[in-house]
Structure 1
Amino acid sequence: MSVILPTINQELLINVTPQETRVAVVESGVLQQIHIERACARGLVGNIYRGKVRRVLPGMQAAFVDIGLERAAFLHVSDMQTPKLLSEETGEQKPIEPTPDIRTRLHEGQSVIVQVLKDPIGSKGARLTTELALPSRYLVLLPYTQHVGVSQRIEDEGERERLKAVLAPLAEQHQLGFIVRTAGEGASEEALCHDVDYLLRLWQQIQRQMNAAGPETVVYQDLSLPVRTLRDLWAQNVERVRVDSREACQAMREFAAAFMPGLSERIELYAGEHPLFDMYGVEDEIQRALEKKVLLKSGGYLIIDQTEAMTTIDVNTGAFVGHKNLEETIFRTNLEAASALARQLRLRNLGGIIIIDFIDMNDEEHKRQVLRALEKALERDHAKTSISEVSALGLVQMTRKRTRESLEHVLCEPCPHCHGRANVKTALTVCFEIFREIIRAARAYDAQGIMVLASTAVINALQDGEANSIAELELFIGRPIKLQAEPLYAQEQFDVVLI
């Protein structure tokens, strides 16, 4: 007898202000995803530009392209449109040249139409492609490829064949390619054709703008975040969409009426006295998502460390002591952690290489079940993920596609006191640095005395625990040393002044 799992209802909450738009995906009262877009730094993914090649790098098989941003964008040869042949085995189109030389495709000063694949992240510029892709509700239009594909998440073979049968004649007629998105599963032929008509009109408009656009200018800009939310995040289990802006609500209803019939009545204008995100506890969840430690219901916890190279997640039993034996306690903690960390990856939008240090397990069956639980929890993730087996050291390596900055990078910046180290020198360490600096200054300059300006904590340490050291140093340099507390100084900050 098959077991039918209950559908988890979702709510989309949209908070709009002139400076910032935020979208929260909530399931059963629990925040699952948060998307933030600021007016001063809108996301670029999906935008199309007429760029200008600034530099070609044969050694990297890539080029830097100026698209009018602060930093030049990066275009690799593998992301360039290449002539394709139809594979006899699979029916899919494959490049004639697997790795063409970048110098045969681009030269400095050349004008090129490109689309942004990844937003600028950290010190890296945007990632570009010349293989344009235009999404709609159910489809993605590929203007330079005549091919019909179906999302891998649509697993029913009969449904895949039906979708291909509907779109193949249209692809051949217009000499264009289409990919059916996950949301297209079960879509009627009429709905698919409606999407095709919309994409054809959009492509014609973009072509006109491409011909008129000057160098280093935007040709096409993707939809605003509220409307994009309907296009990309809406699913059958979305119970309602609540938005606190009348203008955004109207735009979303118009989009829904045109492309998503039946959804308009689920879009509600929120006009309550309390802020929308406060009503659902979203603000508190965002604050918790910026912390390194994530508590589990059992008493265990995760430690999440995000670095430029990778993200590491450490699983600990904490206060959880279990009920049977140590192996069972570890197994239960790891199972709970697998589900919790999958949510944290979505919520914090962590991407790139991710290393998970589960608690060591001796039972091979337990290892297999934990890995399967992680894979199951990641199935709901919109971003593409890839997981390795448990290594000999008990680590799980995985990757998650990164197209935009993580939540931490959007909301935070490196600490000006510790410069991103996540720790500061102790007051005692700073005291010893001050002693060394006093000796340098006394040897280099002739002065009547020396004054030390430092934080209150450091001055207290000098006056209490290191008072004898100060007296010995005065005898050594033959000059008086005065101490002055500066409440606004950080703990590592100090000045040695000649008087």
Structure 2
Amino acid sequence: MTEDILINVTPFETRVALVEQGAVQELHMERSIQRGHVGNLYLGKVVRVLPGMQSAFVDIGLDRAAFIHVADLRQNRTERSTGAAVTPIEKLLFEGQSLMVQVIKDPLGTKGARLSTQISIAGRMLVYLPYDPHVGISQKIESEEDRIALRERVLQFRGDDKGGFIVRTQAEGATDEELQADHTYLRTLWNSIQEKAKSQPTPSVLYTDLTLGQRVLRDMVGPNTGTILVDSRSTTQQLLEWAKTYTPSVLDRIKHYSGERPLFDTANVDEEIARALSRRVDLKSGGYLIIDQTEALTTVDVNTGGFVGGRNFDDTIFKTNLEAAVALARQLRLRNLGGIIILDFIDMDDAEHRNSVLTELNKALSKDRTRMTVSGFSQLGLVEMTRKRTRDSLAHQLCEPCPTCQSRGNVRTPRTLCYEILREILRESRQFNPKEFRILASQAIVDLFLEEESAHLAMLGDFIGKPVSLEVESQYSQEQYDIVLI
């Protein structure tokens, strides 16, 4: 199936949509003042070593200190590959030490960036591993003959280079000249990074990953890619220049979009973004998904909704689950959901139905470039899976916690708040002796006090022997109120 890539460029933001059969499958965004850090190399300074957690904090110049675990130190990766015992972090790092590190996970929430000293630099065909002699092949190249041939070709031109490589999926079918050119580019880049590290203070940036548009050409373009439309003439020219050097095979697919309609409107991308921020995803059959993202994990609940089209109840459930499997695989890519994901399909008694749903799910997930694992149905009827998380989800990029409900997803009812206010006035009447109590609250609270709760308010006034007045504060949210002593 052909995939088209739309690149919308503005001075403040670049957005990329991958569209297949008219439906948006993936969204990527990069704001000029909020560029991600994954892949960047830094000369950092160790600020604290925590032996109890076998971790250390490293200052790399970001707002929060970054974090490195003992398992992400290249010395221990080498030892683990030979079966040797892991060296404790306190024997490898000390406070004040300069350290070349690479960001492997962007800061998420209150957590700082995660680092590694096992450096890797990605090219079009190859990923260069300067400290690891291993040559690996992408798991998506399934033919064993192709894997062996690619490994032998890479070993031939590596020469006396002690570094290793991971051969990317794009290398399948590449010529020797293309592989050699990628190797030369990566070696030259690594040499310049090493020279820079010798003269820079700590903390400082040694290497910044490519722009979003360049990463699209490097990582997303494949045999199924159709047209790459860019709505900025200058960005189109920049991508053509970059592609001429590194990805000449995609030159004829990069086109400048000059239509009158905004580029994203041609595929209803903005509408798709709005739907991707909703908890509910409607299925064509009438069923729906409910997606809830929490700090620890993401849950997906499947419901039949208004779908009653099956021959019997089991058939209805089976068809809903099959449709849900395809839809949720798309939603994971679209929303960029990562970490632990729990899928709650509608209960199925038939083992054959469960196997068919799992097969359909795995088939739909196979289009995703992100690494993931999927388990079978648990005893509770849940499917557990993981999807590698390297950047914020779409919701975390575009939204922030609700200041009213503090991201709980609900607020206390007006009646609950009325009774809370009455209790608060009773408490304060025992400590203070004002002439009057005045309640400042939202319209909903004041209306309830004037109507259904008026008797309780009058009873309180009689009990404490003080008048209680009401005043609407239009700027207050439902949960905000003040009690003024006059």
TM-score (norm 1): 0.95
- Map 1:206-225 → 2, pairs under 5 A: 206-225=193-212
Q: Is contact 1:349-1:406 (8 Å) kept?
A: yes
Is 2:48 the partner of 1:61? no
> How many residues of Structure 1 are paired with residues of Structure 2 in the alignment?
486
Q: Which residue of 2 aligns with 1:401?
A: 388
- Hey, what's the Cα distance between the residues in 1 that align with 2:384 and 2:286? 25
- Hey, what's the Cα distance between the residues in 2 that align with 1:261 and 1:152? 25
Q: Which residue of 2 aligns with 1:289?
A: 276
Deviation at 1:137, TM superposition (A): 0.8
SS of structure 1 residue aligned to 2:363:
helix
Pair 98,370 (structure 1): closer, same or farther in 2 beyond 3 Å: farther
- Hey, what's the Cα distance between the residues in 1 that align with 2:107 and 2:165? 28
TM-score (norm 2): 0.98
- Hey, what's the Cα distance between the residues in 2 that align with 1:147 and 1:470? 76
Q: Which residue of 2 aligns with 1:70?
A: 63
- Map 1:20-35 → 2, pairs under 5 A: 20-35=13-28
Q: Which residue of 2 aligns with 1:443?
A: 430
- Hey, what's the Cα distance between the residues in 2 that align with 1:98 and 1:129? 19
SS of structure 1 residue aligned to 2:367:
coil
Q: Is contact 1:138-1:195 (8 Å) kept?
A: yes
- Letter of the 2:40 partner, please give it: N
- Map 1:184-203 → 2, pairs under 5 A: 184-203=171-190
- Map 1:133-144 → 2, pairs under 5 A: 133-144=120-131
Is 2:32 the partner of 1:39? yes
CA RMSD of aligned residues (A): 1.4
- Letter of the 2:42 partner, please give it: Y
- Letter of the 1:283 partner, please give it: D
Is 2:226 the partner of 1:239? yes
Deviation at 1:98, TM superposition (A): 4.3
Deviation at 1:265, TM superposition (A): 2.1
- Letter of the 1:391 partner, please give it: S
Q: Is contact 1:146-1:171 (8 Å) kept?
A: no
Q: Deviations over 1:243-278 (max 9, x none)?
A: 112221111101111122232121111222222112
Q: Which residue of 1 aligns with 2:137?
A: 150
- Letter of the 1:441 partner, please give it: E
Q: Deviations over 1:111-155 (max 9, x none)?
A: 100000000001111010001001111110000111211001100
How many percent identity over aligned positions? Answer: 53
- Map 1:110-149 → 2, pairs under 5 A: 110-149=97-136
- Hey, what's the Cα distance between the residues in 1 that align with 2:100 and 2:78? 23
Deviation at 1:279, TM superposition (A): 1.9
- Hey, what's the Cα distance between the residues in 2 that align with 1:466 and 1:83? 67
Worse-matched range after superposition: 256-265 or 433-442: 256-265
- Hey, what's the Cα distance between the residues in 2 that align with 1:272 and 1:116? 39
Runs of 4+ aligned residues of structure 1 deviating over 6 Å after TM superposition are 83-86
2:245 to 250, 255, 258: 258
Deviation at 1:206, TM superposition (A): 1.1
- Hey, what's the Cα distance between the residues in 1 that align with 2:51 and 2:133? 30
Q: Which residue of 2 aligns with 1:477?
A: 464
- Letter of the 2:430 partner, please give it: R
- Letter of the 2:179 partner, please give it: L
- Hey, what's the Cα distance between the residues in 1 that align with 2:156 and 2:55? 36
Can you give the 5+ residue segments of structure 2 that lack an aligned partner in the other structure? none
Can you give the 5+ residue segments of structure 1 that lack an aligned partner in the other structure? 1-7, 87-92
- Hey, what's the Cα distance between the residues in 1 that align with 2:85 and 2:185? 33
1:360 to 343, 347, 371: 347
Q: Deviations over 1:1-33 (max 9, x none)?
A: xxxxxxx11111111112111111111110011
Q: Which residue of 2 aligns with 1:274?
A: 261
SS of structure 2 residue aligned to 1:163:
helix
- Letter of the 1:416 partner, please give it: P
- Hey, what's the Cα distance between the residues in 1 that align with 2:76 and 2:304? 54
- Hey, what's the Cα distance between the residues in 2 that align with 1:95 and 1:250? 48
- Letter of the 1:394 partner, please give it: G
Is 2:330 the partner of 1:343? yes
